[in-house]
Amino acid sequence: MGVCKIVNKIRKKMHKYTICNGKFIGDFEGLYKNFNDPFLQSKKEKFETSKKAIINYCELLQSEKKKKLKSVEIGCGLGKLTEDLSKIGLRSIGTDISETAIKKAKIKNKKSNFYVSDIINDELYLKIKPDIFIMSEITWYILPDLKKFISFLKKNFKNKYLIHTLAIHHPKKQKYGKRYFTNLKGILKYFNMDYVEYGEKWNSEEGRTFFLAKIK
């Protein structure tokens, strides 16, 4: 069996814990217990372009504000991006619903702080008071809570920032989340924020969407 076939076979096994055949599973604790590095998130992989965009946006905001900003990455997994943000000078915090993921993140990364947390954790956000919220490739996993989370941000964190990246499929191939959005235009309309910059990049299989927005 070729390397590509082996990788695809492993990825299919991982999807059985997240989204499979158009249905949300959401067993992230099981995912992190059974795989050392789910979807190769700690390595240089296909989300690298999205992660570079996030880092560039954070550097831009920190330069404009001329002070050390605090960021929180929601759904940080093993914490590589959270740690990379600490390395460029942010006070960087990562949260994830998986206790196993956070345990591994704390071992791997020493410059950042990590918490076990669901996306709806008003008390934590109000305590840490981030300047920047980061959602990197997690939105499909939190769709049922997304509207509530956006409303919370608009009520409590006006004029702070949200950086969002998300992979999307061609509408004919998308099986999950169609009633929420299927393209960048739909994503921007759903979040309804003051967009500083946004864009998308496509290959033959999928697109990478991104935006930097001021919360209003």
Q: Quick check: 3 pLDDT over 60?
A: no
Average pLDDT over residues 125-138: 97
Is 37 strand, coil or helix?
A: coil
What pTM did the predictor assign?
Answer: 0.93
For residue 40, what pLDDT is reported?
A: 83
Task: Name the β-bridge partners of 74.
Answer: 95, 135
- Between 45 and 130, name the one with better pLDDT: 130
Mean per-residue pLDDT over the chain, rounded: 92
Domain coordinates in residue numbering, the chain = 45-214
pLDDT in tens, 158-182: 999 999 999 998 878 888 999 999 9
Which H or E element spans position 70?
Answer: strand 70-74
pLDDT in tens, 139-159: 999 999 999 999 999 999 999
Name the token pair of 48: 């690298």
Contact 152, 215 (CB under 8 A): no
- Between 208 and 94, name the one with better pLDDT: 94
Lateral strand order in the sheet of 132-136:
113-116, 91-96, 70-74, 132-136, 161-169, 206-214, 194-202
> Which CATH fold topology does 45-214 show?
Rossmann fold (3.40.50)
At 105, is the pLDDT very low, low, confident or very high (cuts 50, 70, 90)? very high
